[in-house]
Amino acid sequence: MGDFTLRTADRRDATLSEDAVNDLAARLRGPLLTPQSPGYDEARTIWNAMIDRRPGLIARCAGAADVMQAVRFARENGLLVSVRGGGHNIAGNSLCDGGLLIDLGALRFVHVDPISRTARVAPGATLSDLDRETQAFGLAVPVGINSTTGIAGLTLGGGFGWLTRKYGLTVDNLLGADVVTADGKFLRASADENDDLFWAIRGGGGNFGIVTSFTFRLHPVGPMVFAGLVVHPFAGAGDLMRRYRDATAALPDEATAWMVLRKAPPLPFLPPDVHGKEVVVMPVIYAGDDEAAARKALEPVLSLGTPVGEHVGLMPYAAWQAAFDPLLVPGARNYWKSQNFTGLEDGLIDLLVEEAGRLPSDQCEIFVGLLGAAANRVPADATAYPHRDALFVMNVHARWNTPPEDSACIQWARGVSDRTARYATGGVYVNFVTDDEQRVQAAYGPNYERLRALKAKYDPTNLFCVNQNIAPGG
C-alpha cells in the first residue's frame, strides 16, 4: 500500500508510514478506513449534500478506547481532526479534507433507567434511537425536531425543540458526560467532577473534547401527546403572524406553536389546489395526553384565522418527532441563515412575508420557532449556551437539489438574514451557523472569553478545530 499523505492541523501535507497506520489499525477495535477501503465513500457521506470532503483516514470507533487511541494518534502526528456523530451538522464540520475523521456513528446505545428517570446515550445515537427507548417508559428528553439528527451535535450546541418551553434546552437536562480530551485522557464532566468542562460542553460545541457518553434527565412525556399541523392560506399571512405573536404570549409552558412560511407539500389533509402554493404552516404540540386540556391551552393559536387544512389530535410522541423527516431527507443541498429575536415586530413580520413570497425552490422555508418559558428562566451564564433572552429563533432554510440552483438559493437566504438583522439580538444559535460565517463570538456573547480560557486549559493546541472554533485564549 505504501506511505500515506495526510493533512496536518496547520493545513500542510505530512507523510506517515504504512507501519504507523497499520499500528493504529491494530490498536482499534473498530475498522480504520483508507480511501481505498470498501465503505469509505459511505462513511464520508453526510446529510448536507453540499459537503464533499475526503478524509485521509476514517477511524470507525467501537468504543471509548478507540476514541482515545485515535486522539492520541492525531496529536502525536499533528493531524487535522474532525469528529462525526450523526453527520447532520449544516456546516459539514464532521468531515475534514485529508485529515483523520473520528467516526462515532457505530456508537448508538441508549440505556434507560426508568426508576431514576435518566438515560445514558452514546454519541452516534440519533434522536429516533433515543425516543424509541425512552418512550417505552413514557419518558423523553427535550431534543430537536428531526428524528435523524444526531444527539451529540445537537446537545453540544444547546438543543431546542417541541418540549423546550416545558423542560428547557437539551443542555439543561444534561447531567453528565464522559469526555476524551485533546491529550487522549478520559474524564467525567458533571456538576461534581470537572465542573468547568461540564459548563463548557453545554453549548460550546465540539471544542473541548469528544463525548463518548451523555447522561440525561428524563421527563414524563407520552407515549401519546396532542400535536399536529394547522395550515393557513398565504394571503393575509402578515395579519396572521401578528395575531400569532399576541396569542403565543398567553400559552402555558406545556404548549408550543411555531410558524413556517413555505410552499405546501402534498399532505393528504390539504386540498390539491393548495399543493405547491405558498402557505403558513403552524405546528402545535401540547406536552400531555389530555385532549381537553390541550385544546384549551392551545385555543389562542388554534382559533387564529380560517385554515385551509388541519390535522391535530392525539398521536404517539415518537411519530410527531419524525413528522418532518420526509422534508429533511439526506441528499439535498442545504444552506441556513439564522437570527434570534426577543419579539416579532411589525416590520420584521412584513419582511418575512415579503421574502416568503419569493422562495427560490419548492423546498425552501422560513421557520420561526417559539422558545420562552423554561428555556428563558435559566441565567445566561449558567451554561455555555447564552441566549436566554431569545423568545423566537428564525432559521432561513434554503434547500434544493442541483448545483445550478446554488447561487439563487444561497443569495436568497443571505438576503433574508441581512434584511432582518436590524430586528435581531445579534446572537445566533451555533448549530445553525454555516461554514462561511464568522459568528462564533455572536454565538457565545458574554460567555466567549470564559470559553476561550477553558479551551486553553483543555485543548491548548486547538486539536479540535474543525467546528465553530473557539481559539484558545487567556
Asked whether residue 376 carries a pLDDT value surpassing 80, the answer given is: yes
Mean pLDDT of 186-191: 98
Q: What would the pLDDT profile of 113-149 be if each residue is shown by its tens digit?
A: 999 999 999 999 999 999 999 999 999 999 999 999 9
**pLDDT band per the 50, 70, 90 thresholds, residue 1:** low
Mean pLDDT of 3-27: 92
> What confidence score (pLDDT) does residue 10 get?
87
**pLDDT band per the 50, 70, 90 thresholds, residue 419:** very high
**pLDDT band per the 50, 70, 90 thresholds, residue 2:** confident
> What confidence score (pLDDT) does residue 151 get?
98
3-state secondary structure the chain: CCCEEEEECCCCEEEECHHHHHHHHHHCCCCEECCCCCCHHHHCCCCCCCCCCCCCEEEECCCHHHHHHHHHHHHHHCECEEEECCCCCCCCCCCCCCCEEEECCCCCCEEEECCCCEEEECCCCEHHHHHHHHHCCCEECCCCCCCCCEHHHHHHHCCCCCCHHHHCCCHHHEEEEEEECCCCCEEEEECCCCHHHHHHHCCCHHHCCEEEEEEEECEECCCEEEEEEEEEECCCHHHHHHHHHHHHCCCCCCEEECEEEEECCCCCCCCHHHCCCEEEEEEEEECCCCHHHHHHHHHHHHCCCCCCEEEEEEEEHHHHHCCCHHHCCCCCEEEEEEEEECCCCHHHHHHHHHHHCCCCCCCCEEEEEECCHHHHCCCCCCCCCCCCCCCEEEEEEEEECCHHHHHHHHHHHHHHHHHHHHHCCCCCCHHHCCCCCCCHHHHHHHHHHHHHHHHHHHCCCCCCCCCCCCCCCC
Mean pLDDT of 295-323: 96
Mean pLDDT of 374-380: 97
CATH 3.30.420.10 fits 224-432, yes or no: no
**pLDDT band per the 50, 70, 90 thresholds, residue 194:** very high
Mean pLDDT of 340-368: 97
Mean pLDDT of 268-272: 94
Asked whether residue 457 carries a pLDDT value surpassing 80, the answer given is: yes
**pLDDT band per the 50, 70, 90 thresholds, residue 89:** very high
> What confidence score (pLDDT) does residue 430 get?
96
Mean pLDDT of 73-88: 96
Asked whether residue 474 carries a pLDDT value surpassing 80, the answer given is: no
Mean pLDDT of 286-310: 96
Domain boundaries, the chain: 4-103, 110-221, 224-432
> What confidence score (pLDDT) does residue 4 get?
85
* Domain range 4-103, CATH class: alpha beta
Q: Which CATH number fits domain 110-221: 3.30.465.10, 3.30.1340.10, 3.40.190.10, 3.40.50.2300?
A: 3.30.465.10
> What confidence score (pLDDT) does residue 3 get?
84
Asked whether residue 432 carries a pLDDT value surpassing 90, the answer given is: yes
Average pLDDT value for the chain: 96
**Cα 336 to Cα 398: distance, rounded to the nearest angstrom:** 6
Mean pLDDT of 174-203: 98
Mean pLDDT of 320-325: 95
Asked whether residue 150 carries a pLDDT value surpassing 90, the answer given is: yes
